[in-house]
Amino acid sequence: MIELILGGARSGKSALAEQLSVSSDLTLFYVATATAEDDEMRQRILHHRRQRGDGWQLIEEPVELARVLRENQSERHCILVDCLTLWVTNLLMLDDDARLHREKQLLLELLTEFSGYLVIVSNEVGLGLVPLGRLNRRFVDEVGFLHQAIAQQADRVIFTVAGIPQVIKGPGLY
């Protein structure tokens, strides 16, 4: 089962992803793509750790997402990835187009054969104005195309608004 949970900042997507993961009764893995580059980000990461609580095996991987998922997939595992947009940001900041393309392809290929329960959290960034700046526009494009590709393969896609999940593909939540 592959789930893609999209939403804006503070929309409730991570809390929903954690709730769905815990209710799976599988061994829980949390793949964090964030890097603590400053105090504000360190505080956000700490907040997420406290909110999650115990019971999770934490894997911090800012770039090689497909490798980590491949190494930890199992029918007995639930892997939560939070979040895809930070992962794309990390890849864009490497300033290596070949690496960005390769890592995205590896992820999409892995999804076709993934074993276990995978919950992917990502920010929906395409609902606003076209951003100023070439890098910002590229970010929105890369994330948008990646969301489309993952949504095609996902069993369920959920959009969260104000803490309320809206299933836009797949089975209902409750």
The answer to whether 139 touches 93, Cβ cutoff 8 Å, is no
Question: Cα separation of 72 and 3, whole Å?
Answer: 17
Question: Cα separation of 84 and 33, whole Å?
Answer: 7
Reading the block at residue 114, the tokens are 């993934």
Active-site residues, by number, are: 48
Instruction: Give 22: exposed, middle or buried? Use CB within 10 Å, 0-12, 13-18, 19+.
Output: middle
